[in-house]
Structure 1
Amino acid sequence: MSTLRISENIVRMRREKKITQDELAAFVGVTKASVSKWETGQSMPDILLLPQLASFFDVTVDELLGYEPQLSKEQIKCCYHRLAEKFAEHPFEEVMQESEKLVRKYYSCYPFLLQVCVLWLNHYNLSKDQNRQIEILESISGLCEHILENCKDIGICNDAVGIKAMVEIQCGKAAEVIESLEEILDPNHMQGEKEDILIQAYLMTGDMEKADYFTQIAMFKNVLALVVNGTQLMMIHGQQLELCEKVMKRIDAIIEVFQLEALHPNSIANYQYQAAITYCIQGKEEETYQRLESFVELVIRLLQEGIVLHGDDFFNRLDTWFEELDLGAKGVRTGKFVIESAVAALENPVLATLKQEKIHELKGRLMKEEEKL
């Protein structure tokens, strides 16, 4: 909980109402000296007077006290995963109402609000009402703006900018995304270099442990970024098969060398799916099926091994990093949601030209996994 600010609040609210200490004292039924002591922090109003003071200033008792409930990192993590599991098991609106109630209660706990934005962004499309989906996206955007206007933590604010951009993309507001991110992500500005400088500083001070820790994290993020960027290149150049196959050749090699199918099957599944779409557009059925098979196998592997981020014998520092993340190492979506998303991906109209019995077979494999959950 933040420090109570009742003294400064009484001073501020009294001045906003343009009344004297005498007038406030007369209304509450105390002496002017008592009000003076309240405002200088020498004493506190009697607990029985708090509702009367709050009523006079037309605020809640919490607002009068300056009480801002806060959640710990562990509480935020537990709350996120509890709500994510509820989205998979309970009616959508029931869980939304519970999460909205928590937002109102912890409206000044900006780390929590940021994770609520992540939660809603990951689950808003569970609503069958398109208007409701838009309404939730607007709520996410509104929470991000609230964070940006009031939070002083640069890291949280940067994340809020990113989440707001994701919402704008979902709403088709590409121009707004370009306006908010183009300057921030200008390749002429220092970005990745900051990590390199920090690692160099650790090396200069002889802190090899931290140098190793940050180097592994940077390396892992950069390797995954190559896969994501390769996926995007195929989306951009989907009509140029020769170029796309060059991309696939390089990304396939990276995946094999760094054993990314085991490390991060979700990202590799997305890559395999886009490769399948690319081949399907080009009428390459056999290659399309091969990539779809890989996509489905990775989704099943993700479910069977547990949706948990982890390192390996090469990236042996990642487990510590994942545990320190705001939401921990546990995945941000439940197994049921992952399967529903994968089945929906197989229903992409682009794949309608394929033999549907093969698509049904792939869906069936996914549905069997859902029955085990």
Structure 2
Amino acid sequence: MRLGALEIGLSVVLSLRMSLVLSFLTGNFEFGRLHAAPLWFGVLMEYDNRKGRRNASVNELNIAGNIIRLRHERKVTQKELADFIGVTKASVSKWESGKSIPDVLLLPQIAAFFDVTVDELMGYQVRLSREQIQKIYGDLCTVFVEQPFEAAIYEARMYVRRYYSCYPFLLQMGVLYLNHAGMAGTKDACRQVLEESVRFMNHIIDRCTDASVCEDALSMKAMLYLQMGKTKAALALLEDVADPSRISSQNDMMLAQAYWQAGEIENAKSHVQIRIYTHLLSMISGEILFLALHESELERCEETIRRVKGMIELYQLKQLHPNPAAQFYYQAALVYGANGKSEEALAELKEFAGCVCTIFDARQRLLHGDKYFDRLDEWIDRLPLGDMAPRDLSLARQGTLQALSHPAFAAIKSRDEFQNIYTQIAEG
């Protein structure tokens, strides 16, 4: 029995500038075989406040530079462009040198020649603020709950078309699509949504000049490939960049050390604390996958469970971030259930239910710091989605209840304790 065969989501912490936070996939598609404890999946990207990527603005138009770039990319001469448009080669030369600009009536023809939009030709790029991205994302999450999938995805696509050149926004739309693709109804429809999101990531990688956004898009693309079952494609993207032996894997701590040596003590303290937090989540995620990979080795799994429970207790993770704790308890319950240890499985499911109910408690912030991690709140507030759940909690509850139908729990399904757990999650 493959304990991760129930395709409810992907529990992975990627390095670079991505961290697993919170999101919800309900397993309506089975392209990949995702073996980690599969409850919630989420990606929130961190952007540097000082680089000005949050302000809504329109970039300066750059028709001349764009014509030069597009012409060179397509290996087209000035004369070939001039002949297609019906102007002289000298006119094209003047456009590219900035001495004149094309007549507005020619812009659609030039754009069609290069197979781009007029906005792209002109260099018109709207930059949404973080607050605007949050608002649109939250509104769309509500639409996916309240309207049929076809209507919701249509509305999302309208936003994508409007802000296709706002790459941080497009990145979050990829997250939105990934978190709602399972609602598409059929495997083919779901695959189409995921493939559309892959195209978003390709557009970002091809056009965006911000290296950090491109890195996140590359990681998102790998996630999408995994969800679609394209494991070889995902491996091709990840094997090199995620190699722990690379010097770049030490960048996090080198940055903190650089802050320290530069006398920027507060930046150093904040950076170290944030990285300890994200590495903690990464370690829990790794241990969850470790359990799934060693499902038949009960002794090894029990030692892993003992150690991870110590970490959860030590860092008070059930209160700090109940999502990874819930994923761990669920995977532990799967291991025990598959190995015929009913009492242990029920005990883990009780812990799981407690974490899940904490997540569904609307009175609490989903993401927050505590007395030890006392610098997290400011960082969380800077994330593009803040502490917002990347999927509506009512859909998350449905997915959680579906998780309890896993075959590993067949022997305990009829027991009162199991039914109480189900009721607690359904009503809590």
TM bucket normalised to smaller? 0.7 to 0.9
More deviation in 234-243 or 142-151?
142-151
Segments of structure 1 that go 5 or more residues without pairing to the other structure are 26-31
Show CA shifts across 1:318-366 (max 9, x none): 0011011121122222211220111111111222232335444322222
2:241 aligns to what SS in structure 1? coil
Asked if structure 2 preserves the Cα contact closer than 8 Å seen for 1:6 and 1:66, the reply is: yes
Partner of 2:327: 270
Asked if structure 2 preserves the Cα contact closer than 8 Å seen for 1:77 and 1:328, the reply is: yes
Higher-Rg member (1/2): 1
Indicate how the Cα distance of structure 1 residues 267 and 64 shifts in structure 2: closer, same or farther if over 3 A, else same: closer
Partner of 2:107: 54
1:186 aligns to what SS in structure 2? coil
Asked if structure 1 preserves the Cα contact closer than 8 Å seen for 2:78 and 2:93, the reply is: no
Partner of 2:378: 320
Asked if structure 2 preserves the Cα contact closer than 8 Å seen for 1:117 and 1:144, the reply is: yes
Shift of 1:205: 2.3
2:366 aligns to what SS in structure 1? coil
Partner of 1:169: 226
More deviation in 341-350 or 200-209?
200-209
Indicate how the Cα distance of structure 1 residues 259 and 14 shifts in structure 2: closer, same or farther if over 3 A, else same: same
Shift of 1:41: 3.8
Looking at both structures, which has the greater relative contact order when contacts are Cα pairs under 8 Å and sequence separation is at least 6?
Answer: 2
Q: Tell me the amino acid that sits aligned with residue 208 of structure 1.
A: I
Aligned-CA RMSD value: 2.6
Q: Distance in 2 between matches of 1:225 and 1:58?
A: 45
2:295 aligns to what SS in structure 1? coil
Q: Distance in 1 between matches of 2:259 and 2:126?
A: 37
Q: Does 1:366 align with 2:419?
A: no
Partner of 1:157: 214
Segments of structure 2 that go 5 or more residues without pairing to the other structure are 1-57
- Of the three residues 336, 340, 361, the one matched with 1:283 is 340
Q: Distance in 1 between matches of 2:414 and 2:292?
A: 24
Asked if structure 1 preserves the Cα contact closer than 8 Å seen for 2:291 and 2:304, the reply is: yes
Q: Tell me the amino acid that sits aligned with residue 279 of structure 1.
A: Y
Q: Distance in 1 between matches of 2:227 and 2:397?
A: 21
Count residues with an aligned counterpart.
Answer: 358
More deviation in 247-256 or 82-91?
82-91
Output aligned runs, 1:1-373, within 5 Å. Answer: 1-8=58-65, 15=78, 17-19=80-82, 24=87, 40-41=97-98, 50=104, 52-57=105-110, 59=112, 61-304=118-361, 305-306=363-364, 308-358=366-416, 359-369=418-428
Q: Distance in 2 between matches of 1:56 and 1:185?
A: 44
Show CA shifts across 1:270-306 (max 9, x none): 0000000000011000110111111111111111143
Q: Distance in 2 between matches of 1:14 and 1:188?
A: 46
Q: Distance in 2 between matches of 1:10 and 1:193?
A: 40
Partner of 2:39: none
Indicate how the Cα distance of structure 1 residues 169 and 40 shifts in structure 2: closer, same or farther if over 3 A, else same: closer
Q: Distance in 2 between matches of 1:55 and 1:208?
A: 53
